[in-house]
Structure 1
Amino acid sequence: MKKTSITRKIFLYLTLSFLAVIFLFPLVWMVMSSMKDDFQIFRDMTSVKAFLPPLPNEVDGGYLQNYILAFERVNLLKYIMNSLIYTIGIIIFGLIVNSMAGYALARFNFPFRNFWLAVIIATLIIPPESIFLPLYVLVFNLGWVNTYTGLIVPFIANAFAIFLFRQFFLDFPKEIEEAAKIDGCSQLGIFVRIIVPLTKPVFATVAIVLFINHWNDFLWPLVVANDDSMRTIQIGLQFFMNQQPVQWGQVMAALTVATLPMLIIFIFLQRYYVQGLAHTGSKN
């Protein structure tokens, strides 16, 4: 039995390692290509050299030359700052609104609670693109076009985030809340002082999901932020790739810079992310 268990674990780890390497190939290729010129990128495309950095004598101007030229060619720093403001704004307000909504659905008994939960979950099947036109008309009438408000406010409430919070709070011990009530703590005080500090995994999970979803947003920022000063990184990359002549080494450098924030936030919050996913869905 022990040998069988060890064999299964070895097979599982080898399989997962193999899959991890496969998924990392595009990322490694992108980073390595960001250090090369166009000739080197296409020359190495069909060999293992595509996943290796260029030799020092093949680099003209240093390994970061493409990064420097990319920032000089377009205002990448401004695009990155716009994306950070956009995504972080949605995360901050989204965590507040969605956590409170999830807590209310998990703890409070109010009329038609299950009905409203079903309505919230049902909105997940609605394609976001199908509501962009009426949403844009609303944002336009409010005067929010080319503003951070127009980018952030429509996406603060998130059905998936509300569901995750609700499932996680269902698993939270009620005895702790009841003890706080006996000590005279208000409902808001219980949520802020007890629930939030003790449920970091689900907050980290929702933060990662919201960051990845909205950092990669393209259509909504394209519609609402049509001024160059308001473009997000994804829109900026599209305009950058359309500039002639296309310098693929610089494009890879810009793509690498755009990918870094997602990698950083996932690396720092991955432990909470796994815990949050493990605890959600344990109760109905």
Structure 2
Amino acid sequence: MTTETFGRPVVVRKLVVFACFLVTAVSLIPVIMMVLVGLQSDAESMAASPTFWPSSWHWENLERAFDLVPLGHYLLNTVIFAGGTTILETITAALAAYAFARLRFRGRNALFAIYLGTLMIPHQVTLIPQFILVARLQWVDTWAGMILPHAFTALGVFLLRQFFMGIPRDYEEAARLDGASRWQVFSRIILPLAVPAIATFAVFKFIGQWNNLLWPLVISNSDATRTVAVGLRTFQDTNGTQWNLLLMAATVTTVPLIIIFFLTQRWFVRGITMSGLGGR
């Protein structure tokens, strides 16, 4: 082989790394602009010809943002809402996925196809029926009304079912021969092997529910259950011209997601490659 043949993979690898770096840099531009404007003075953020680099750093904007709205309470509400829905969705999706992947019953494939068909229905179509049901149950502006309608997900069932089907049946058969029950097989064999896929799904759902605006906006009427996405909207309605404080509050709400991603990055990447989300 010639030197040119050996050199091509290196050049291609460098081009791919450069392209990834370029895409990452472009993606970070809005985040950097958000942080910089959040540290500007009121006059700079309201100027007719805005500049993104602050002439002086106003770290007191963080305290001002917390003083104008109960941002800390909104963050706590968001943790409860996103955490509660993620836990329930993960549990129900894992149980349903195991049933569709391992249990044999009449009409299993047809039922699974119908269940997947619900993914084609936009969430906005079911919003009004869900609200009517929650209102009749007197769950408006309660945690039950906020969390329980999101306790089931067809997408999670599909992803985990595909992962469960890739686990060899020999493990289950050996456990059943040793006298393990169906629940013991699921909890002691299947779940430990599926930790990467479950962790990936949980991270996806937590981030999605953290940024969920529509359902909390409809069902929450007070600060008792108002999430940070709705709180920022209220913040903008009340203090719409104070862009520096609004973007400072948005920066604060983004930090938890960044921390969660870095803490779960290993499981996140491993789950994507093992569950088929990476295009394999």
| TM-score, length-scaled by structure 1 | 0.91
The match for 2:84 is 89
Question: Is 2:195 the partner of 1:191?
Answer: no
Deviates more, 1:156-165 or 1:239-248: 239-248
8 Å contact from structure 1 (residues 35, 64) kept in 2:
yes
Residue 77 of structure 1 and its aligned partner are, at CA, apart by 1.0
| TM-score, length-scaled by structure 2 | 0.92
CA separation of 1:262 and 1:45: change in aligned 2, threshold 3 A:
farther
User: Residues 168-196 of structure 1, C-alpha deviation per residue, up to 9 Å, x if partnerless?
Assistant: 11111211122221222111111112221
Which of these residues, 143, 161, 165, is aligned with residue 166 of structure 1?
A: 161
CA separation of 1:271 and 1:45: change in aligned 2, threshold 3 A:
farther
Question: Is 2:10 the partner of 1:10?
Answer: no
What is the total number of aligned residue pairs between the two structures?
273
**Aligned to 1:129, what secondary structure does the other structure show?**
coil
The match for 2:40 is 36
8 Å contact from structure 2 (residues 140, 220) kept in 1:
yes
User: Residues 238-282 of structure 1, C-alpha deviation per residue, up to 9 Å, x if partnerless?
Assistant: 010111462111111100111112212111112212222222249
Superposition RMSD in Å: 1.9
Name the amino acid aligned to 1:108. Answer: L
Residue 32 of structure 1 and its aligned partner are, at CA, apart by 1.9
Unaligned runs of 5+ in 2: none
- Cα distance in structure 2, aligned partners of 1:258 and 1:27: 12
Question: Is 2:50 the partner of 1:73?
Answer: no
8 Å contact from structure 1 (residues 37, 248) kept in 2:
no
The match for 2:107 is 112
- Cα distance in structure 2, aligned partners of 1:104 and 1:45: 60
Which of these residues, 237, 256, 261, is aligned with residue 256 of structure 2?
A: 261
Residue 46 of structure 1 and its aligned partner are, at CA, apart by 6.8
- Taking only the aligned residue pairs, the percentage that are identical comes to 35
- Cα distance in structure 1, aligned partners of 2:27 and 2:274: 26
Unaligned runs of 5+ in 1: none
- Cα distance in structure 2, aligned partners of 1:263 and 1:194: 32
